[in-house]
Structure 1
Amino acid sequence: MIENIIELENVSLTLPSDAGPVNILRGIDLAVARGEAAGLVGPSGSGKSTLLMVLAGLERPSGGRISAAGEDLTGLGEDALARFRRDHIGIVFQSFHLVPTMTALENVAIPLEFAGRADAFERAEAELSRVGLSHRLSHYPGQLSGGEQQRVALARAVAGNPEVLLADEPTGNLDQSTGSEIIELMFELHAQKGTTLVLITHDEALAARCDRVIRLKDGRISSIEAGVPA
């Protein structure tokens, strides 16, 4: 029996605007199995990033039900949602979102300290070594290349061993060569840790490396296809 780690039932999101209500998500039904890699593709404005924000509990849907990692997110308050993200979710954005006044080691360790992990700095160092940055622990984001900053962001996202890793165009600000390195690292960590991966990308070849390719259009799922995992 395949266990679903993410389930969405008729999820919708409508936001107000000067021109009237805007329907961002329009009745999304989706299940993602534990350990699966799912690629989300679709044109700009199709709702991909919003769907990821909803999955992370960073945006509340207007209707429907969401469960992830055994939690029903629908009725959770802000504090409970923050704890849910801390305990279950890792997120990698297109922009690195590193704290500029903290070293690479501190950027990865501080969230672990907030989670009460006594071994926060040891775990952070291990994850930075895993992504090839053992020689850059004491460097600040401004002293790192874009690719190195994204490696720090990736290490931070997976250091707490999240059950679900959400990645929103993680190579969007990187050159092709550096972006390819980050993607290989991401799939390697996904395979090693058994983490469920939900990846937003405009790259059809990259999406095809996932177990399934989920296509969005105008806030709806237009198709779901089998990928060709590497």
Structure 2
Amino acid sequence: MPQEPIISLKDIHLTLKSDAGPVNILRGIDLTVQPGETVGIVGPSGSGKSTLMSIMAGLEVPTSGSVLMAGEAIEKLDEDALARFRRENIGIVFQSFHLIPTMTALENIAIPLELAGRTDAFEMAAEKLAAVGLADRSSHYPSQLSGGEQQRVALARAVCTNPKILLADEPTGNLDGKTGHIIVDLMFELHAQQEATLILITHDDQLARRCDHLVRLEDGRIASIETTLQQVAAGE
């Protein structure tokens, strides 16, 4: 039997109001992703990349269309149900880290575990912190960490609940090239370990080509979907 897709977007439109009239951000997006796949989404600024990720995460509701994530039509869920769904199924890595400044690295990672009711939240958080190479930074606050270290903490927090889907929005955007490569290598390593589906939003074609598929957005539409050489080689 054919496998059910873990992500299925059908005819996604998003139109926002403005003083100058309606602004069409997304104009009919259709995208299907199978479990465990990696997908890089590229496109110029304003093409709708981050908005599309927000819709997948349930942070933005489309004007029309259906959003099926891990078998759930999330556009129909209320805020409480959406929060539960994200907690159980989705990890998100943002460009700007979004760590809580008054909490230590360990506490930042433990938050989603505590919300999930895990009694071993801090033990699990310590394991994930060690997995990203920061076991010795557990008591440090974000202001005491470099940008790369903060993004490692953010990545550990995103994967600590073993989500089915990992969404990363320009995860290297605030980092230098060398540190960015380290973060990306780590992200793909954690993806492989947890067999999560990875959606990577980036402006970097070379980075996107590390994924199984490359989706190019232009003006709120999918201009092309390409199976990368990596995926072709794996299938030989």
Q: TM-score, normalised by structure 2?
A: 0.96
Distance 1:213 1:168 in 2: 15
CA deviation map 1:210-230 (0-9, x unaligned): 000000001000100012339
SS in 1 for 2:217: strand
Alpha carbons 1:48, 1:216 under 8 Å: kept: yes
CA deviation map 1:83-135 (0-9, x unaligned): 11111000000001000000000000022101101111011000000000001
How far the C-alpha of 1:165 sits from its partner, in A, is 0.3
How far the C-alpha of 1:3 sits from its partner, in A, is 2.8
Distance 1:206 1:2 in 2: 27
Alpha carbons 1:90, 1:165 under 8 Å: kept: yes
SS in 1 for 2:31: strand
Q: Evaluate the alpha carbon distance shift between residue 215 and residue 128 of structure 1 in structure 2; reply closer, same or farther with a 3 A threshold.
A: same
Alpha carbons 1:210, 1:228 under 8 Å: kept: no
Match of 1:197 in 2: 198
SS in 1 for 2:7: strand
Alpha carbons 1:5, 1:70 under 8 Å: kept: yes
Distance 2:146 2:7 in 1: 34
Amino acid at match of 1:162: P
1:64-75 equivalences in 2 (<5 Å)? 64-75=65-76
Between the two proteins, the alignment pairs up a number of residues equal to 230
Amino acid at match of 1:132: G
1:38-187 equivalences in 2 (<5 Å)? 38-187=39-188
CA deviation map 1:53-78 (0-9, x unaligned): 00000000000101101111121111
CA deviation map 1:141-187 (0-9, x unaligned): 00000000000000000000000000000000000000000000000
Alpha carbons 1:11, 1:28 under 8 Å: kept: yes
Distance 1:110 1:26 in 2: 36
Amino acid at match of 1:88: N
1:7-46 equivalences in 2 (<5 Å)? 7-46=8-47
Alpha carbons 1:67, 1:73 under 8 Å: kept: yes
Distance 2:230 2:182 in 1: 17
SS in 2 for 1:54: helix
Structure 1 residues without counterparts, runs of 5 or longer: none
Distance 2:113 2:230 in 1: 31
Distance 1:25 1:196 in 2: 23
Distance 1:112 1:39 in 2: 28
Structure 2 residues without counterparts, runs of 5 or longer: 232-236
Match of 2:234 in 1: none
Identify, as 1 or 2, the structure richer in helix.
2
Distance 1:227 1:203 in 2: 14
Q: TM-score, normalised by structure 1?
A: 0.98
